[in-house]
Amino acid sequence: MGLGRQERRGLYRPEYEHDACGVAFVATLRGHAGRDIVDAALTALANLEHRGAVGAEENTGDGAGILTQVPHAFLTATSGLDLPAEGGYAVGTAFLPTDGGERAGSVRAIERVASEEGLTVLGWRDVPIDDSVIGRQARDCMPVFRQLFVVADDGVGGLALERRAFRLRKRAQNHLGTYFSSLSSRTLVYKGMLTTAQLRQFFPDLEDPRFTARLALVHSRFSTNTFPSWPLAQPFRLLAHNGEINTVEGNRNWMAARQGSLHSELLGDIGALGSITTAGASDSASLDEVVELLHLAGRSLPHSMLMMVPEAWQNHAQLDPSVRALYEFMGTVMEPWDGPAAIAFTDGTQVGAMLDRNGLRPGRFWVTDEGLVVLASESGVLDIPAERVVRRGRLEPGRMFLVDTAEGRIVEDEEIKSSLAAAHPYQEWVDTNLLEVDDLPEREHVSHTPSSVARRQQTFGYTDEDLKYL
Q: Residue 31 burial by CB count (10 A; 0-12/13-18/19+): exposed, middle or buried? A: exposed
Cβ neighbors of 263 (< 8 A, separation 6 or more) are 270
Phi/psi zone of residue 106: left (φ > 0), alpha (ψ -120 to 50 degrees), beta?
Answer: alpha
Rg (CA), the chain: 23
E strand or H helix at 108: helix 100-116
Q: In sequence order, what are the beta bridge partners of 341?
A: 243
Q: What Å distances lie between residue 57 and 137, 139, 331, CA to CA? A: 8, 12, 45
Residue among 334, 340, 261 nearest 299 (CA) = 334
- Residues labelled catalytic: 21
- CB count within 10 Å of CB 316 equals 14
Residue among 349, 375, 278, 286 nearest 22 (CA) = 375
3-state secondary structure of 203: coil
Q: What Å distances lie between residue 414 and 47, 124, 361, CA to CA? A: 32, 44, 22
Residue among 428, 396, 400, 424 nearest 414 (CA) = 400
- DSSP for 399-461 reads -EEEEETTTTEEEPHHHHHHHHHHTTTHHHHHHHH---GGGSPP-------HHHHHHHHHHTT
Dist CA 129 CA 205 (whole Å): 8
Residue among 242, 202, 203, 250 nearest 225 (CA) = 242
Q: What are phi and psi of 240, to 5 degrees?
A: -135, 145
Q: Identify the sign of the CA torsion 101, 102, 105, 107.
A: negative
> How many residues are there in the chain?
470
Dist CA 112 CA 417 (whole Å): 42
Dist CA 205 CA 35 (whole Å): 12
